[in-house]
Structures are given as C-alpha cells and as structure tokens.
C-alpha cells in the first residue's frame, strides 16, 4: 500500500533524494530532486520501464530556478511571462551540471513553471527544480486519480501527495523548443493551442515559429 504523505513529508523525502508521486495541473507526476541524485534519477527509468534515451521534464518553483537549469536567452522571457505559471514547457540548452539522464545526453532540458500550487510549492520549498514525468508505466495512459496508479511503481516510491486541485487530465503541457536563430518550433501541442503560442511569440518577442 502506498503511503499518503503531507506537503512537509513530500519536501523532506525529496530533500533526502527519494522519489514521490505528486499532482500537477495535467496528470500525477513522478519525481525527485535533480542535483546530486543520479541513483534516484536512474530509478525513474527502471520504475517506469522507460528507455534511457527519453529525456525527463522538469518543474521549477520560481523564476530563479530557471536560470540554474538552462541557458535562457532574454528574447524568450516575454513569452514565458505570458504563459507561466502554466502548461507550457520549453526546451532550452541545459546547464552543464544537469544530469545526462535528464537530458538523455542531448544537452537540452524541458522545463516549465507549473500552475499547480502543490507541484510549484514542492519545487520552491526544495530549493531546486524537480523531475515531473508522468506517474505511469511507459506507453500506458497517464493518471489523474491515485486509484489509477500502477502498483508496479509502488516499490520505488516513498509516498504520494494527494492534495487538491486534482489534475485535469486531457491534454499534456504544450512543448516548444527555442532554436539558436531565435525561432521556435512546436514539438507537442497540448493544453495551450500552438496557434496561440505562435501568435504571442511573434507579438511579444518578435520570434518566428517554424
């Protein structure tokens, strides 16, 4: 039986380098802290039966955590400020101290400032970004209720935080990538429609979308 934990316990477990399950605005996420935590990060791939060449997305708790995670060109800030906190993830060049297990050795990282108060507060209180991959076995549907969790995840997890608001389900976060020539591409359309992202990128940043 998986233990239901409080916000304080969740933060303590993550600070100890453990894995927990927590709600995000879209689905329940599986995650841990990202720095000095290689063994636990590798456990995510084992728990989810996930290929090692699949990168792991991150949630930040505040804007300062963005700058310790990725190289962020000034041109993109107006777009991020418009959609964050929210379900827009952006792929940027990772800082050199980001684990290759997170980037899948691409030297790039996907990150977002979550609009879910619990996910955001966990990262904020931990003091560093947290991994936020869907809490499911690879190729199975992501979950919006703890009763939907696959019991095969349980041996790897210290506990689950199940505090409202519940994940909405449906579409995942929209995923974009910023390229060196200051263009963006839509890698995955999710909750935020791609035409809205393209419109705001042009309006706020003067960025062309591919």
Here the CATH number for the domain that contains residue 157 is 3.90.870.10
Nearest 5°: the CA angle 148, 152, 153 is: 75
- Residue pair 34/59 in contact (Cβ under 8 Å)? The answer is no
Q: What mean pLDDT, rounded, does the chain reach?
A: 97
Quick: pLDDT tens for 60-113. Answer: 999 999 999 999 999 999 999 999 999 999 999 999 999 999 999 999 999 999
Q: Structural domain tally of the chain?
A: 1
Helix/strand number for the chain, H first, E second: 7, 12
pLDDT at 210: 78
Does residue 189 sit within a domain?
no
pLDDT at 208: 87
Distance of alpha carbon 119 from alpha carbon 162, whole angstroms: 11
pLDDT at 186: 98
Radius of gyration of the chain (CA): 16
Does residue 35 sit within a domain?
yes
Does residue 109 sit within a domain?
yes
Domain hosting 139: range is: 7-74+85-179
Does residue 203 sit within a domain?
no
Q: Which residues contact 165 (CB under 8 A, 6 or more apart)?
A: 23, 25, 116, 117
Distance of alpha carbon 87 from alpha carbon 157, whole angstroms: 25
Note the helical H segments in the chain. Answer: 7-15, 38-48, 63-67, 77-83, 100-103, 117-126, 194-200
DSSP 75-114: GGHHHHHHH-SSSEEEEEEEPTTS-HHHHTTSSEEEEEE-
pLDDT at 143: 97
In this structure, what DSSP letter does residue 181 have?
T
Does residue 140 carry a pLDDT above 80? yes
Q: Is the dihedral of CA 83, 139, 65, 24 positive or negative?
A: positive
Q: Does pTM surpass 0.85?
A: yes
pLDDT at 2: 80
């Amino acid at each position: 039986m998986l233990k239901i934990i409080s916000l304080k316990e969740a933060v303590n477990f993550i600070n100890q380098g453990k894995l927990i399950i927590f709600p995000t605005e879209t689905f329940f996420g599986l995650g841990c802290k990202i720095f000095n935590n290689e063994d636990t990060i590798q456990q995510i791939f084992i728990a989810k039966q996930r290929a090692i060449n699949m990168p792991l997305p991150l949630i930040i708790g505040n804007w300062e955590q963005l700058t310790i995670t990725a190289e962020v060109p000034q041109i993109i800030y107006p777009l991020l400020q418009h959609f964050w906190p929210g379900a827009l993830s952006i792929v940027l060049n990772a800082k050199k101290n980001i684990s290759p297990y997170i980037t899948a050795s691409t030297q790039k990282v996907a990150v977002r400032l979550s609009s879910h108060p619990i996910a955001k507060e966990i990262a904020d209180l931990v003091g560093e970004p947290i991994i936020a991959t869907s809490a499911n076995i690879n190729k199975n549907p992501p979950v919006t209720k703890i009763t939907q969790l696959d019991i095969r995840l349980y041996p790897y997890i210290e506990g689950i935080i199940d505090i409202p608001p519940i994940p909405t389900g449906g579409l995942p976060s929209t995923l974009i990538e910023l390229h060196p020539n200051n263009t963006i591409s839509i890698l995955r359309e999710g909750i935020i429609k791609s035409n809205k992202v393209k419109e705001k990128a042009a309006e706020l940043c003067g960025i062309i979308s591919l």
